[in-house]
Amino acid sequence: MVQHKSALLGHQKDARFSFEVERYRKDFPILSQRVYGKPLVYLDNAATTQKPRQVIEAIDAYYRTENANIHRGVFYLSERATKHYEEVREKVRDFIHAASSKEIIFVRGATEGINVVSQSYGRTFLKPGDEIIISHMEHHSNIVPWQILCNQIGARLRVAPINDEGELVVGDYAKLFNSKTKFAALSHVSNALGTVNPVKQLIQMAHEAHVPVLLDGAQAAPHLAIDVQDLDCDFYVFSAHKMYGPTGVGVLYGKQAWLEKMPPYHGGGDMISSVTFEKTTYNVLPYKFEAGTPDIAGVIGLGAAVDYLHAIGMNAIQAYEQHLLMFATQTVSKIKGLKIIGTAQAKACVLSFVLDGLHPHDIGTVLDREGVAIRAGHHCAMPIMERFKVPATARASFAFYNTTEEVLVLERALHRALEILK
Amino acid sequence: MTDLRDLYQELILDHSKKPCNFRVLEKTSHTAEGYNPLCGDRYTVYLNIEGGVISDISFQGAGCAISKASASMMTSSVKGKTIDEANMLFEEFHRMICGNPGSRVNEAALGKLVVFSGVCEFPIRVKCASLAWHTMKAGMEKSKEPVSTE
């Protein structure tokens, strides 16, 4: 067993696997911290990731040298801030391979992005009796906005089932479509299970039924290369803070043809061309959806995060994280009584589990004292807990800065939990 | 540094594994549900209040070791007490779990409940330890008449 572990550890240093995790770790100031006298092992990345100094410094530099309101000032600083802000829009366009930067709308996060679509698109194009398809593995943020819409307009929510592995069953998904289906919303990657959905295939299926699709990419953006044109999704949302950027800012991508037809979500400054008390003319895309002064510093931080990920390369990140996931799965599976919830074939770096008779909250407290930060609870996905008949799970979610050594610390901490709580 | 054993004492673990009064009461005057959305803990407390006295109490539900042990020991502690006495005991208990580490607690009043004194070192777990108590209080408050001791 020991030999097996060291073989896998050695694999990390393998020439064909030259991911420089130790170098990247040095970019994250918070990771060198000790908690309760132990090195911090941060495994709650699905909740929020840590920030590299490049992001922190970009935000700092903006406030120190560029701060001014955008899209209005006639002076030097405002012009610079505006340019910087709009450059990030282009970076984000490139990051998700959108056709035009007009399709990139800055919002507060994935949650707000979904609410913009459900309210602006939903209330314009859906009518009583129409159906919206979501799945059983959605985060509350991709359930509740659709329930609100259904209540407002008298539409019906349909839920695609998942199997015991935590995968969508494609055949069952197809069966939900009928002439009343008018919209589908789906997570690209599940936050509680780690499942990567076969979204391209499902979008194609929905489009055959003339149904537009929104993808919740909050958990995909930090782990996968995203190509919205290849996926052909109609809308895509994600949050900066889950991909090494700051909190409070995110992106809504929408196909231009849809965004042109949709009314604004918020009214205010910046989203107008002209205002009289009789009539207001809305601004062009993307500004029509960006009322008020946005989180300029946040957007600039997001730009730095995109640059950072770009420098490492999403494919390299994905390959390393898959290696880490395999190692972590093998390591914790050896613990007697541990059951992994979410065993899909295609998975991102998330390990949700229950441990024989121990409540996840108690596991979380013991792990915390060992320096290991995990999430314990329902992960804002209560229907998933119900599906697997558990009140809660413990979840270790990894980032590219986590190491196989940290997986071994997690393993030791879990043994400690068994020792204390059994 | 605080040891985890201060929190997870033997008596707490025993009660979490084999809780007392973990059942539905046959004769119930009041019930209340308590829920901690942070961790998904959920309990129902059943009370039978007769003449302002808790003649019987039980609970059902699921949650962490701390919340379950606390519910179990709460039911044992308040059975036979008046509503006022139960409220006073909750106040004492709450003061202990929210208190400063090392501060004095009223051991005589709390009895076996002092086993939860370690909770004050783990502020995140205060909600776990107090969930069943808050639930019981809500149950007792539902009955204005029995509460009256005039």
Residue A422 lies inside a defined structural domain of this protein? no
Quick one: pLDDT at residue B96? Answer: 95
Residue among A287, A358, A40, A342 at smallest CA distance from A164: A342
In tens, the pLDDT along A128-163 reads 999 999 999 999 999 999 999 999 999 999 999 999
Residue B148 lies inside a defined structural domain of this protein? no
A3 pLDDT above the threshold of 70: no
B2, B39, B68: best mutation site toward chain A, by most A Cβ within 10 Å? B39
Quick one: pLDDT at residue A17? Answer: 64
Residue A354 lies inside a defined structural domain of this protein? yes
Q: Which of B38, B65, B124 sits opposite A359 (nearest CB)?
A: B65
Q: Which two tokens stand for residue A420?
A: 């204390």
Residue A174 lies inside a defined structural domain of this protein? yes
Minimal-distance CA residue of chain A relative to B13:
A421
Quick one: pLDDT at residue A378? Answer: 85
We report the CATH number of the domain holding residue B44 as 3.90.1010.10
A189 and A126, same structural domain? yes
ipTM of the complex as predicted: 0.87
A45 and A116, same structural domain? no
Query: What does the pLDDT average to over A38-61?
Result: 98
B11, B16, B64, B122: best mutation site toward chain A, by most A Cβ within 10 Å? B64
Mean pLDDT across chain A? 94
Quick one: pLDDT at residue A15? Answer: 41
End-of-domain residue from the set A250, A279, A311? A311
Residue among A100, A114, A196, A195 at smallest CA distance from A149: A114
Domain of residue B104 covers 4-142
Q: Which of B5, B13, B38 sits opposite A377 (nearest CB)?
A: B38
In tens, the pLDDT along B30-68 reads 999 999 887 778 999 999 999 999 999 999 999 999 999
A234 and A105, same structural domain? yes
A361 pLDDT above the threshold of 90: yes
Q: Which of A369, A385, A421 sits opposite B65 (nearest CB)?
A: A421
Main-chain phi, psi angles of A262, to 5 degrees: -85, 140
Residue B150 lies inside a defined structural domain of this protein? no
Tell me how many domains chain B contains.
1
Minimal-distance CA residue of chain A relative to B66:
A362
Domain of residue A256 covers 55-311
Q: Which two tokens stand for residue A302?
A: 């997001």
A319 and A305, same structural domain? no
CB contact under 8 A, A421 and B8: yes
Residue B149 lies inside a defined structural domain of this protein? no
A349 classed as catalytic: no
Query: What does the pLDDT average to over B4-12?
Result: 92
In tens, the pLDDT along A192-235 reads 999 999 999 999 999 999 999 999 999 999 999 999 999 999 99
Chain A residues touching B61 at Cβ < 8 A: none
In tens, the pLDDT along A406-416 reads 999 999 999 99
Main-chain phi, psi angles of A186, to 5 degrees: -150, 145
Q: What percentage of chain A carries pLDDT values higher than 90? A: 88
In this predicted model, which residue has the larger pLDDT, B103 or A294? A294
Which of A94-98, A187-191, B102-106 is predicted least confidently?
A: B102-106
Asked if A247 contacts A48 with a C-beta cutoff of 8 angstroms, the reply is yes
Which of A168-172, A303-307, B99-103 is predicted least confidently?
A: B99-103
A194 and A110, same structural domain? yes
Residue A205 lies inside a defined structural domain of this protein? yes
A344 and A204, same structural domain? no
Residue A421 lies inside a defined structural domain of this protein? no
Strands A213-216 and A181-187: what pairing? parallel
We report the CATH number of the domain holding residue A282 as 3.40.640.10
CB contact under 8 A, A37 and B1: yes
A203 and A296, same structural domain? yes
Query: What does the pLDDT average to over A327-347?
Result: 97
The DSSP bridge partners found for residue A41 are: A372
CB contact under 8 A, A359 and B122: no
CB contact under 8 A, B4 and A376: no
Quick one: pLDDT at residue A130? Answer: 98
A357 and A291, same structural domain? no
A84 pLDDT above the threshold of 80: yes
Q: Within chain B, what is the greatest distance between any pair of CA atoms? A: 49
End-of-domain residue from the set A311, A343, A378? A311
Query: What does the pLDDT average to over A101-111?
Result: 98
A37 pLDDT above the threshold of 60: yes
Quick one: pLDDT at residue A381? Answer: 87
A291 and A336, same structural domain? no
Tell me how many domains chain A contains.
2
Residue A306 lies inside a defined structural domain of this protein? yes
A16 pLDDT above the threshold of 60: no
Chain A interface residues (partner B, CB cutoff 8 A): 36-37, 357-362, 365-366, 369, 376-378, 382, 385, 391-392, 420-421
A172 and A319, same structural domain? no
Q: Is residue B65 less than 8 Å (CB to CB) from chain A?
A: yes
Quick one: pLDDT at residue B143? Answer: 57
A394 sits in which H/E element: strand A393-397
End-of-domain residue from the set A311, A346, A376? A311
| Distance, CA of B52 to chain centre | 18
A175 and A65, same structural domain? yes
A168 pLDDT above the threshold of 50: yes
A57 pLDDT above the threshold of 60: yes
Residue A399 lies inside a defined structural domain of this protein? yes
Residue B76 lies inside a defined structural domain of this protein? yes
A192 and A261, same structural domain? yes
B7 pLDDT above the threshold of 60: yes
Size of interface A-B (CB pairs under 8 A): 50
Query: What does the pLDDT average to over A285-308?
Result: 97
B144 pLDDT above the threshold of 50: no
